[in-house]
Amino acid sequence: MTPPGPNMTATATGPRLVEGRGVLSDAVTQALRSGGSPVYAPASVLKCDPWGEDLQLSLYLLYELHYRGFDGVDDAREWDPDLLRLRQDMEVRFLHALRTELSDGPRSVEEAFAPLLVEPVDLSDSLSHRLESDGQLWQLREYAALRSLYHLKEADPHAWVIPRLTGRAKAAMVAIEYDEFGAGRADRIHARLFADLMTDLDLDPAYGRYLDQAPAALLATVNLMSLFGLHRALRGALVGHFACVEVTSSPGSRRMANAMRRCAAGPAAEHFYAEHVEADAVHEQLVRHEVIGGLLADEPALEADVAFGCAATVLLEDRLAAHLRGAWDQGRSALRTAL
């Protein structure tokens, strides 16, 4: 059988391929546009900042080939060995940076999740608290534009863990994902609800529209779940990531719903977060007791990985929050280019 060529299965409905931000991302974009192999010096990966724009954009572009691809890029590039080799080298760099930052991090589920189950007395570092109390509409718009890179594919990265689970863990994970995907109704898929939120905020709800505006701190949060999702060896970390999101979602969503209401952002903007307040409170119990509990009953050796996934999520969310607060405190846009 003749393998698909560049004009046979090129994605015509995916997002636009953006320009690179450095040596590696330039190599990736040029390879995707030309159909050829990425041209780069292997040493450039070792020199690249694991938190920086170049590496994080490169990873995002390569991961996106497993989701919806890019306009005009051959679907077959998803499994191109040269692109996968480059991706693997960058993943090693990213994972090493994460593990180094978390060298003194939690090793047990109890240690990782106990701090998340109690609302902190001091919420001064909470981004949702800031937006609830004194956030402005332009800041809500920036926040939504950035978060769209995940929320327009909400729950997709976590679905990769389903075939890697069994028994209780699989049954509970599927039940939660069923809700995330609208419980059988297309108009209730959470990605669709977020697109409606974006419309209320006068943003373009097209998938991947704001990639070019997204800084490395945001890209890293999306790359983390793609990294965990695409590697069976990191299934425990993906469960830890998913559980962390579900455990922390309900109170944060309540504050975000209040922020949308206070700024008169619109009914769909408020509804997206209001929907998550109730749904994720239920999901929290399922993911903690059934997904994590079931996984560790089957594979107790994965407990440290679950804890790592949770801690890595907190680390990257804190880095993103610091980026947003730093920009907004100076009265400037947190995006690479303002809306």
Instruction: Give the DSSP letter string of 224-261.
Output: HHHHHHT-GGGHHHHHHHHHHHHHHHHHHHHHHHHHHH
Q: Could you give the CA distance from residue 257 to residue 274 in angstroms, rounded to a whole number?
A: 6
Chunk the chain into consecutive blocks of 10 residues (it has 339) and report each block's average pLDDT, rounded to whole numbers. Answer: 47 86 98 97 96 98 98 97 98 98 97 89 82 96 98 97 98 95 96 98 98 98 98 98 93 95 97 86 88 98 98 98 97 96
* pLDDT, position 281: 75
**Residues ≥6 apart with Cβ < 8 Å to 92:** none
* pLDDT, position 4: 45
**Any idea where the domains of the chain sit in the sequence?**
23-101, 109-329
Region at 174 (left for phi over 0; alpha for psi -120 to 50; beta for the rest)? alpha
* pLDDT, position 2: 34
pTM, two decimal places: 0.94
**Residues ≥6 apart with Cβ < 8 Å to 218:** 146, 147, 149, 320, 323
Q: Per CATH, which fold does 109-329 belong to? A: Heme Oxygenase; Chain A (1.20.910)
- Give the angle subtended at the CA of 258 by the CAs of 178 and 282, to the nearest 5°: 30
- Give the angle subtended at the CA of 214 by the CAs of 31 and 337, to the nearest 5°: 105
* pLDDT, position 10: 64
Q: Could you give the CA distance from residue 326 to residue 256 in angstroms, rounded to a whole number?
A: 19
* pLDDT, position 66: 98
- CA-to-CA separations, 31 to 55, 85, 260, 323, in angstroms, rounded: 16, 13, 41, 31
Query: Quick one: tokens of 236?
Result: 């425990």
Query: Quick one: tokens of 338?
Result: 């303002």
Q: Could you give the CA distance from residue 257 to residue 268 in angstroms, rounded to a whole number?
A: 10
* pLDDT, position 11: 60
